[in-house]
Structure 1
Amino acid sequence: MVKAAYIHIPFCEHICHYCDFNKVFLKNQPVDDYIESLLMEMELATQRTLPDRLETIYIGGGTPTALTAKQLQTLFEGMAQIFPLEQVKEFTVEVNPDSSELDKLNVMKNAGVNRLSIGVQTFEQDLLKGIGRTHSRKSVEESIERSRKVGFKNISIDLMFGLPHQKPDHFEQTLKEAIALNVDHISAYSLKVEEKTVFYNQLRKGKLSLPPEDDEVKMYNLLRTKLAKAGFTHYEISNFAKPGFESKHNLVYWNNEEYYGFGAGAHGYVQGVRNQNYGPVPKYIQAIKKYELPYLHEHNVTVVERIEEAMFMGLRKRKGISIEQFKKSYHCNPEELYQHQIDKLIERGLLEKKQGWIRLTNEGLLLGNEVFEQFIAVLEEGHIV
């Protein structure tokens, strides 16, 4: 059942040093043709597989607000012809503080967007410059103030820690300022240096000074304790929400449910098949002009792969995995399939079982990837009924 859609806008007015998402500089790009192609892809995909009822939409990037108000209007009007947007429960758009002009916010609000995700990362101006961001603390405050005035009542911000030259006291100050903004949701991710990024090139040349692991652990512990005191629920490894403001769209991923992926480089998961679109914008547009879905490749997800994904995605949630729900969804008992792995991780203090749930311990949160690896390449196809 497809109840969610991710829409990718790959255009950026500048490229951040840590970003490995599919993106291109905005200047001289065929933005209008891209929007037309996006809408055509939505039509082609829904002709192939009708959504049951679209409940969440997430427009990310890149930088969605790099589009003009008129281009955003064209996109939303086209989407309304394909999807009943009035039925969507959560409609999120990623916003750059530097491009959150009032006319764009009004277009989004009038189209039914009801949640904004604002890229902040840090409030330290030197750190912002060091990671390639161009906004300021003031522009973040102004962006949130404008959004509230337009009527947005669900605002999330993204933060990062483990940045070059960042210290725990820097991050503690960023958390203090983030809490003072009175937002509804905070996502906070540890920096991962990925290939094809500015930081990766700097690291290879020995020019990237990252904090020691102990400092990164201190920052994560500060994140958890400070946000808990401020009334946020820690509901996923990197996500915190005021009661009732958990991200419904991201829970689709963590619950291993299906979703459309529209746009250059986007990934989708529909009717048991994962697909990835062409990344280069011209190649994406060219495929659409042939009235073809722009798939670089498709993969039929096997039973074992579904179970593996359900384990490591489900364990990202703080409440973990419901054993009974797992049995209903996958017709098998995770305790029996992974008895050795679960017992070993419990013995190490990284997992715990409580009232029919399996979840990460506080120590397990710090070693999540190490835990998830224990559930990969363990089972064999054909041995699961």
Structure 2
Amino acid sequence: MRVLLSTYGSRGDVEPLAGLAVRLRELGAEVRVCAPPDEDFARRLAGVGVPMVPVGPSARALTKAAPPASSLSRRAADLIAGQLDPVTAAAEGCDVLVATGPLPAAAGALSVAERLGVRSVSVTFQQLTVPSPHHAPLAYPGRPLPPEVTDNRALWDLDAQNINALFGEALNTNRASLGLPPVDDVRDYVLGGRPWVATDPVLDPLHERPGLDVVQTGAWILPDERPLPAGLTAFLDAGTPPVYVGFGSMPMHASSDVAQVAVEAVRAQGRRAVVARGWADLSLIDDRDDFFVVGEVNQQALFRRVAAVVHHGGAGTTTTATRAGTPQVVVPQLADQPYWAGRVAELGIGAAHDGPTPTLASLSAALRTALTPETGARATAVAGRVRTDGTSVAARLLFDAVR
């Protein structure tokens, strides 16, 4: 069986595909991944022996550009157009294509699969983009949801209109170049009738979706066997467990202030800190020896050795910290991150920071909650309930679909 896994985005979009690719390969499938050409992604996939097909511009450069909301449609058109040729070449002869990532990217990949007559599956790494009467949709930049509308069904109707206005013309222009008919409802086209949600059911309990046969596979996790850098290991061994601070792919445009605030808040708890540079390029704030700066690192190993994890609330980081049994402080920035912050607080495994901009007082208060023995005990208990078979479930479903 030949499988193409297609995405566009940050590490949180690429890492799960690496996990599924490795599992599929273990079962005898031939797999390749379409992903942005960023060096980190290429190195990660090469490290586990998975071929990567670069697609589109650098995701990191695009994220750091911080475009105005008015350019969202144009960037979506460029993203879809940039996918057609490389995804088409990569999908030739495949038995199935798995499409993930932002909605325009998934729509482009699914259109390629349609053009080639290849089976396809649409996957999301959080359930908030799948219509449900139990929650409202996520708002798009420049198109806030009207606060006076409280009926979730009405909000989902508005969401479909916004998606069509933002992405419909771009998608259909590119579909025409493939000889495909136009799509009337972009969201319905991407979801199809049986979308997959690749999240853990303990961390992300799935609500019923009338009219949709939603499949929850469990989170797609790639076991990480990489050793921690020698300098980091020496720092960890030299004292009590530190607090990890990292915001992943979030630009954190006031990055120097964020690093200063975070380290001072950690110091106020009598703790040392490990600071991840991330896409915000967080760096040293002074020459004291009670914190250590790291780049790309094995989070699975590191999170098991820290007292708490302060992060932005990406699905992957939240799941990794939860599996490690380590208390969390989530400082959500955008999109689904407030949802993950809320789930951490609801489960009692950490604290949800109120808003995207931490202060010394607000982050100190959140850390005090996360570092209590009660939170630690709850984090340990919940970790034992997190499933580890998500990639096996997804791989089995793909093999069954092809058969």
Same fold (TM over 0.5): no
TM-score where L is the length of structure 1: 0.32
TM-score where L is the length of structure 2: 0.31
